């Protein structure tokens, strides 16, 4: 068994779309980043890579490479899964939390779980996504961006 932890943060910028967990969320801002800046999928991807001691998102998909400019983070997540499978591990479960004052995410959580489960080839019951605020504290609470944390349990090898 292996456990991995991932964290990511992106600041807001004007315009959309806002993508979280592979789902487009109606909002007047998007997240700034080299890729689509899906902070939730980035945290999960980092957790998967970390559990296998394979480095992090930036070492596999550097933001200095035009190959990854505006890339859909679902592609990066699936690529990380391939690396996990090459090490003969499988996903036991994922537990992730998004921290955002706005927008409210509760009505999108089930769809995010379904997208993540599909991309990782697991049952939706193995994927937990939660959303919380920071009670108006810190950069998230001031509406400057969104952060996400993820923990993954791998079994096998």
Residues contacting 48, CB < 8 A, separation 6+: 4, 6, 77, 80, 81, 83, 84, 91, 152, 154
- pTM comes to 0.94
- Is 46 marked as a binding-site residue? no
Ordered by where they begin, the domains of the chain are 2-156 (3.30.1330.50)
Q: Would you give per-residue pLDDT tens digits along the chain (157 residues)?
A: 999 999 999 999 998 789 999 999 999 999 988 778 999 999 999 999 999 999 998 777 767 666 656 678 999 999 999 999 999 999 999 999 999 999 999 999 999 999 999 999 999 999 999 999 998 989 899 999 999 999 999 999 7
- Is 60 marked as a binding-site residue? no
- Is 64 marked as a binding-site residue? no
- Is 130 marked as a binding-site residue? no
Contact 69, 22 (CB under 8 A): no
pLDDT at position 15 is 84
pLDDT at position 111 is 98
- Is 67 marked as a binding-site residue? no
- Is 8 marked as a binding-site residue? yes
């Amino acid at each position: 068994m292996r456990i991995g932890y991932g964290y990511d943060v992106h600041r807001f910028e004007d315009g959309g779309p806002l993508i979280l967990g592979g789902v487009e969320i109606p909002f007047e801002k998007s997240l700034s980043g080299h890729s689509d800046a899906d902070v939730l999928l980035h945290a999960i991807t980092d957790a998967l890579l970390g559990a296998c001691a394979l480095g992090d998102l930036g070492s596999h998909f550097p933001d200095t490479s035009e190959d990854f400019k505006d890339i859909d983070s679902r592609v990066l997540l699936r690529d990380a899964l391939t690396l996990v499978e090459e090490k003969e591990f499988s996903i036991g479960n994922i537990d992730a939390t998004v921290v955002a004052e706005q927008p409210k995410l509760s009505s999108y959580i089930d769809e995010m779980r379904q997208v993540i489960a599909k991309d990782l080839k697991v049952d939706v019951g193995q994927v937990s996504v939660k959303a919380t605020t920071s009670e108006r504290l810190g950069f998230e609470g001031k509406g400057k961006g969104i952060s996400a944390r993820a923990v993954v349990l791998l079994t096998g090898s």
